[in-house]
Structure 1
Amino acid sequence: MEANFTEGAKLMKFTFTKKIMLIYGGLLLTVITLTFLFSYLGTVGGLRRQLTETNYALLKQFDQKMEMAFQQIEKDLLELTNDLDFAYFMGNVYKDEPERYASFYAINEKMSSFLNRNPHFSSIFVYSDKSGNILSEKTFMNKDISENKWLTEYLNMKGYFQWLPTHQIWDGATKRDVVTLIRSYPAVSAPGHRTGLLAVNMNEAVLYRMIHDIYEEGYQGLTFVIADNGDVVTHSDKSKLYSNMKELPYIERILTGEKSGSFGITLDGVKQSVFYKTSGYTGWKIVSIVPESQAYGPLIVTRNLLLAFTAVMFLIAIILIFYFSIQTFRPMDLLLGKLSGKYSHQKIGGMSAAHQSFSYLETVFDQMFLDRENLERQVRDSKPMLKWRTVMDMLVGYRTDYSMVKNHLEFTGGRLLPEWFVVVTAEVGKEGGIDPKDEILYTYALCNVAEEIINRENAGLAIDIGGGRAVILLSFAEGDEAQNHLRAAALLEQILDIMRRQIGVTVTAGVGRCYQDMKDIPLSYGESQQALRYKMMTGIHTVISIEDLQTTDSQDYLQFVQRIDRILEALKQTDPDKMDSLLSEAYQAAVRSNLSPDLIRQFSFELAVRALQTVEALGMNTDELKGKAGNLHDRIHQCENWRQAEQLVSSFMSGLASAIEERRSQRGKSDTIDNILVYIQEHYSDSALSLDQLADEFHLNPTYISKLFKDHAEGNFIDYLIETRIRASKELLKDKNIKINEISDAIGYTNSRSFMRTFKKYTGLTPTEYRERILANEQADD
């Protein structure tokens, strides 16, 4: 019986201990598996998206580069055909042979000059349908004996111009593979009314070089361009020129699919990733085929590291489970050993192996994150984005070390001098409406024009910051603050003139002050944005300097300008009598305070600007109102005394009040919203007041009440409630015996800190500062 007990104890010991170890180990391994699974999906998935976006960005960069070159040549070609000699040639109206040859020579000189200005293009043909003659910069021929009879096929083409995929021409000296722009003559003429054509040819090799220049050395992928019918435009494999690739399955998928996208294929047994984009200008498809080993090489390395790391962690986990399980269940083993009358002490070896495993784990972990950081840095610091990021870092004050900035800019082809910086914020005019694509194109053109003008004698950069705005950063090698500020304004005048004359776009620019140190660039940037806000006063297509704006740091002025809030409140209430009274009091107070004429003008500017902003906040279009008022900036400057300024501003404000009243009368009244507003005035001190409470009180849907506020109260519920509470707090603050936290409770705030934060946001002052100012004004009046 004793033997049976001993064997049973051993069996119990083995079964119980092993079961606990298996459950404990299984849970631990499951946690490790899920942890690394989520890490794998997050890391590899994120890197895959970044790498895909990088390939799309490269295709987009080539598309923009090609589109800019093509649009510029089209524009230059239109300017070229305005010459009278082209009209004579196309119409074949010459008095005699000497006049004909003189005209031919003049046209030839103009075409040669045209090609010198546009080095991307190799030749130009001028074809007259009247005479059948074809003239190029190298030769003269008749279509019947020329190898360029293909020109006549496009005389009756649809549209005024067409880009042809790669084909072969004879330029008078040799045969070339070219991409051609065909343009009708006259420039705007329908089929049957044309007298000729112009054709500008770009060597196919030049177009391919545009692609090649975008990609870095060691790129193993294949990038080519095809027309919308599958014809090859340019290709690294020149044997594929003049061929049609439509029959290839992946090409057919590109031609029939979305405008841009990516998918995987297998070519010659190798997995490849296909990225493509459709040019919005030519309609051509830009295709990039990259071996997955290159496109996702860093991703594969990271994946393998994660898998190796997981395997190591499994091994370490098993060792740790075995070791700690023995230690954990050792007392239990002792108990079972005593029960069985036997105990075999198994000595565990030293910790050297465990320490080695942890050391290896730490090394693998560090290497994995180091590889990830390096990969993210490479993606972030790619050339298309590095310039924009560097400039933005300088504007916000993140980069202040010129030596570090210089290296980044030289890598992207930018140039900046080490001192004397001026920041300009420029905005493309949007009058009459502008398509977002055109807005981007105009801003891109503005940046190019700005850099070209600035870098002739100085150094500077320009970037697109979105919304039709660009930031232009100028630097100068010599001079002082005043001289360089004037130089910057003069350069801006040139840039605006070129944008209007050559591109037909108006641009308004705000110019910040000149600072010697790079660390002060954010100050100049903020001043340029502040200056640009005054465009509603100065009008569009102007250069607004921060130096032209009057300083407002006078303590008397800062106290005096607080009156604007009450005037604007009367404007919103469309109470003309109260508004005129407050306006008259403000100007009289300015005179009593001995404010300078410049500060009185500045007060007039600021009141007009904030009044316009108030009207715009009510959802009204102010373009017509500003048009009727004319250039308020100049008109206020021309006022000879404060009474004229008061009369001008009063007239302007009355016009705004009338416009608000007219809109409200068209919108009609609502008894429901009136009752709701009365209820809010009576219960704003209730901290629980909300849309849901109003819905319960008036038996309406909260969404419907919100819509009523937008339609009839010109705002939303929460803004109206806050404004009501702030107005009530201002009245209570006049009594110096009431504490701030008591006022907070009285107007419905449960937290005095929340009240003080909201009050300062709406008034610019803390409640204590506001009370001190009110009491100081009352004492001054006494």
Structure 2
Amino acid sequence: MAQTRNRWTIDLKQLRHNNRSVFLTWMLSYVSVLLVPILISGVIYGATLNVVKAEINRANQSILLQMEQAIDSQFKGIESLSLEVSLNRRIAAFMKADERLSDSDHYEIYEIANDLRVYEIANDFLEGIYVYYINSDAVIASNDRMNSEGLYDHIRLEEHMPYQSFREYLNQWYIKGYRSVVVSEANEWKPTVMYARNVTSTIMNQQGAVLLFMIDRSKLLEQAPAPEEGTILVLDEDNRFIASTGEPLAELAVQYGDMPEESGQLEIESAGRRLVASYTTSSITGWKYVMTLPANVYHQKMNVVEQLIIVSILLCLIVGGAVTYWLLKRNYLPIHALIQSLSFKAGVTFDRGSNEYTFLEKALSSTFHEKEELHNKLNQHNNTLRSHFLQRLLKGQLDSHIPLHESFSAYDLRFSQDGFSVILLRIEHFGKFHRENEDQVHNKRLLQFLIANVVEEVARKSSHAYAVELDRELLACIINHSLASPAEQREKLRHIADETMSFIADHAHVQLTAAVSAQQEGEYGIFQAFQEAVEAMEYRIVVGSGGIIHYGDLKGGDGQATAAGGYFYPLKAEQQLIVMVREGQLDKAKAFVMEIIQKNVTTEPFSFHAAKCLLFDLMATLQKAISEIRIVGKPDVPDGVRAIERLMQCQTVGEMRGQLFELLELLCAYVNNNRDYSSNPLIDKVMKYVNDYYRDENLNISTIGEAFSMAPSYISKLFKELAGESLLDYINKTRLAQAKLLLTGEKYTVSEISVMVGYNDVNTFHRIFKKFEGITPGRYREVK
């Protein structure tokens, strides 16, 4: 009580310095009420102004909407025309032409130009149509033909745009939309509007074309009904004027970013004049259609309203001031008496000038907070003690001098039935609760709390259940139930585990493994049930994770655990497997391995250590097979050492079986791919010669024939027959293997690498690299 009074005294001192009496607060409140009629007058004034603004804005928006519909209608027509042009048979057929144009190609250009002329005549909103063919670098217009450089001299996205950037824009995979551009007219760059659309070729790996529609900028606002004293202008996303009527007075004030909404109104200042700008946004191009009017239009009819507002404010101040003082003095007396009474009973002095409400709130909140803290600490310690008791109960480490029923009562544990079972739940992966840059310890605790609540809720539908955390990945749930037949009780526990695992998997994407004990009788059977569940959980490494393992499945027919005295894998079976691998019989080898595993692992309980030894024996057999199938000069034989390392990292028999089958597939594929290959001393020497001189740009079949005193055609034919691939392909593959190693770093350019591996022409290097690897050297460096 003394500590409470001291804390209240400190709080009152802080209140005295930091707060003011409620009298002042009420006075401000009454003054605020007095300001209501003043605010109403202001609202009336504002509403009147808003009505005028709304009417003007409605008229402006109507004009802008008409203009938007007219222009957007023309834009839609251009888009429809672009689709029609892209479907033109002649235009689509010309995509296959390359840079070396034939006579028929020139005739096709003439026909395409005629078609474009017809399209231009049909739409007077256009100034011209250009078709740019990427494959042939040809640009066709209704009255002209050029290449991309010629088009660059005539049209640019920006006046100082580099030619390479212009080409990159035209070579984009997807182009479709309007944008502001500049065109060359009389040695000057004039702004205009362009609609671009690419046309994809129907032939695979053939580049398409780009359609460019130049719009007559002078006709954009041709039918715009501009007001007498206003201006209409069109603004794109880069704050460039597309078109305007008259002189754009707001040119230096209006910015695209100042108009974030689809439509609206704002006030601006330009050349010393206040203007009101109404705007709307085109749904097709995203451009802003803006109409500006002088601001004095808004204020012509507001003078009378302002005078009435001033008279209303004066009356409110005079009459309302007197009423406010009378009410304030009358209403403060009861609260003052209440504070004095509370201060006297609590033994705390209330200083005049302090805030009365804050004094009451602080005093009550402090009392309630102390009570809540005390309650939370008791609950927290109780939960911790109960968890510790349950852990000791499971491990059989309880104090013998304290009766169990007293401990159960002390920790609010209700075990009303005679049967006990234990379900162990192991977290295999944390699903949604495993996130980078987050507190993993907190996430794991949160997940364990969720699992514990779910399993308790599911089990308590028919039994008493209590869950407890054993470590970061393992939880145990003690289930108290009535004694039943083993089959009935097993099904009941299986249902609890299955429903818990399904719920956690569906809502948290977390995979669990459940181990279920048999039922035990009496409280002292909890330790035996826990040991059974632990033993069942250890068997997870044999059957795999993510399922339900019942202790009864680990028993033999006589109720005793089956001992694993060894495994079946005779020498004859090993020799049979090596023969199958040597002959490349993948399906037969897989079936044989599965039969060996089936006989040892899946027919009866089998220890993980014995299973691991069996899988390592099978892997050792494949290591022996590698030495027998290895072919000289073929470096792509599977790496058995890496396979053993991956096998040692496996945690379940299923994972080890997968690694074994992966190596088996690689070995059989190696045998089948090199079935016709036979080692030959001459071929080995030729391969060594290529590996030594692949950097020489003059290395070819002729130089190799001279080096071995053989005709080029004969040594090429002999290499093809014995090695299974042409000598030229082997030279290129040897060079490309070294080139790929160099491309993984940033030390050399592609041109330097091409010279380093024997290609004096970088274009030849590009062509051969794409032929064998499917991508260009530059793209290979990016993906690596």
TM superposition score normalised by structure 1: 0.30
If you compute each CA radius of gyration, which structure gives the higher value, 1 or 2?
A: 2
